[in-house]
A = this chain, B = another copy of it.
Amino acid sequence: MDFQISDRMSAMKGSAIREIFKYAADPTVISLAGGNPAPELFPNEELAGLAKEFLEQQPVLSLQYGVTEGYTPLRESVKARLKEKENIDWPDDDVIVVSGGQQAIELSTKCLVNAGDVVVVEEPSFIGATNAFRSYGAKLVGVPMDEDGMNIDALRRVLSSTPNVKIIYTIPTFQNPMGTTMSLEKRKALYAAAREFNVVIIEDNPYGDLTFDGTKLPTIKSMDEDGRVIYCGSFSKILSPGLRVGYMCANKEIVRRAVIAKQVSDVHTPMITQLLAHGFLTKFDIDALIVKMRANYAHKCSTMLDAIRTYFPEGVFYTKPKGGLFIWCDLGHGVDTLALSKAAVEKKVVYVPGNTFMVDMDKPTSTLRLNYSTMSDERIVEGIRRLGEVFGNVL
């Protein structure tokens, strides 16, 4: 049978990162391509104990159908944590548990975006989000990034000249793929612009806890006076990505719609993964774990930055993250990093070419994303050394 694929999906390609991951699965390859948390920090013993306890002692709760909104005590712990840690506490908001932060973005898009509507994104931005927008026929418009976040003048030009903008999507803290942090001033200016042009903001904050020095800027959601910010949070980077537990905090009307959309998508997030997240939040010290992660990633990031200074050719631009998982590089000189990735693969090292994160993914770019959270120190240094050779050959 020849299948007629829907308009919304017929233009969709698989993520290029997935193709690169095929090389990365080879254990002799040094992968700087992933976005995986460091596996040595997973609290697997604690989760094993919790899983056994819940399944043995609360079998019906653990294994029967649950409600679409999520396990109520987990929603309450998330609300309490958002209030305590992020100063997010608005009376007209509610929280829904989702199957990873990705689902918060997908459900928001399904509920708000008609085909042809515009979603404004940082350029570069997270491929999982841009593809979620594309999968509902959204038109993407990119706003260039400065080292302190989205260029607000450019954002305002887009908003004032583009009809049907529904959403501004932003990762203000330790942006994926750039690793940058939006300044407080820009956070305020972005919120003011969204308000002026009556646009919803999706604030995606999976990395916010991974601040190297422990300091945090206020989330945009904490400034949200009229309910226009949809805040996406996740346990993927501070507990385990394989659990697929995240949450969305938004105006009650948005949450109500998202519940209806989630009901037809996966009915509810699995009970056992919700119980593991809730159990860990309430019975263990997740903040102590986060402190360990911060130290681990700060060390690995600094290891990678030192190696970049040592091995990369002069003139390569790179960001200096204050947290998160990624460094962004620009080789300049018209280098095509997608083509160049083949030479890197030959030296058994992989990165993600920058075009992956762009609105026009077919246009060559001299940029690329590096990840430092997964590999050992030795492999980080060796990977950067090899990349230095590859880049030296074309610069």
Which residues does A use to contact B, with CB under 8 Å? 1, 3-9, 12-15, 18, 21, 34, 36-37, 39, 42, 44-45, 47-49, 51-52, 55-56, 59-60, 62-68, 99-100, 102-103, 105-106, 110-115, 128, 131-132, 135-136, 166, 198, 200, 226-228, 240-245, 251, 253-254, 256-257, 259-261, 263-273, 276
| CB contact under 8 A between A100 and B264, given known A45-B56, A112-B5, A257-B5 | no
Given contacts A13-B260, A39-B60, list 4 more A-B pairs with CB under 8 A.
A63-B240, A103-B266, A131-B263, A244-B266
Pair B272/A51 contact, Cβ less than 8 Å = yes
Q: Which residues of B contact A228 (CB under 8 A)?
A: 1
Q: Which of B6, B251, B273 contacts A272 (CB 8 A)?
A: B273
- CA distance in complex: A349, B51 (Å): 35
Q: Which of A3, A49, A102 has the most chain B CB within a 10 Å cutoff?
A: A3
Q: Which of B9, B56, B112, B226 contacts A260 (CB 8 A)?
A: B9
Q: Which residues of B contact A100 (CB under 8 A)?
A: 266-267
Q: Which residues of B contact A241 (CB under 8 A)?
A: 63-65, 267
- CA distance in complex: A106, B244 (Å): 19
Q: Which residues of B contact A263 (CB under 8 A)?
A: 14-15, 18, 128, 131
Q: Which of B3, B56, B63, B244 contacts A200 (CB 8 A)?
A: B3
- CA distance in complex: A3, B243 (Å): 32
Q: Which of A1, A135, A263 has the most chain B CB within a 10 Å cutoff?
A: A1
How distant is A262 from chain B, measured CB to nearest CB, in Å? 10
- CA distance in complex: A21, B267 (Å): 14
Pair A240/B64 contact, Cβ less than 8 Å = yes
- CA distance in complex: A240, B115 (Å): 37
Pair B63/A39 contact, Cβ less than 8 Å = yes
Q: Top 5 nearest A-B pairs by Cβ distance? A: A44-B59, A48-B55, A51-B51, A63-B240, A242-B271
Pair A55/B51 contact, Cβ less than 8 Å = yes
Q: Which residue of B lies closest to A267 (CB)?
A: B102
Q: Which of B45, B244, B256 contacts A267 (CB 8 A)?
A: B244
Q: Which residue of B lies closest to A241 (CB)?
A: B65
Pair B64/A264 contact, Cβ less than 8 Å = no
Pair B44/A64 contact, Cβ less than 8 Å = no
Q: Which residues of B contact A45 (CB under 8 A)?
A: 55-56
Q: Which of A42, A228, A254 has the most chain B CB within a 10 Å cutoff?
A: A42
Q: Which of B5, B51, B112 contacts A48 (CB 8 A)?
A: B51
How distant is A235 from chain B, measured CB to nearest CB, in Å? 11
- CA distance in complex: A269, B112 (Å): 25
| CB contact under 8 A between A9 and B270, given known A55-B51, A66-B242 | no
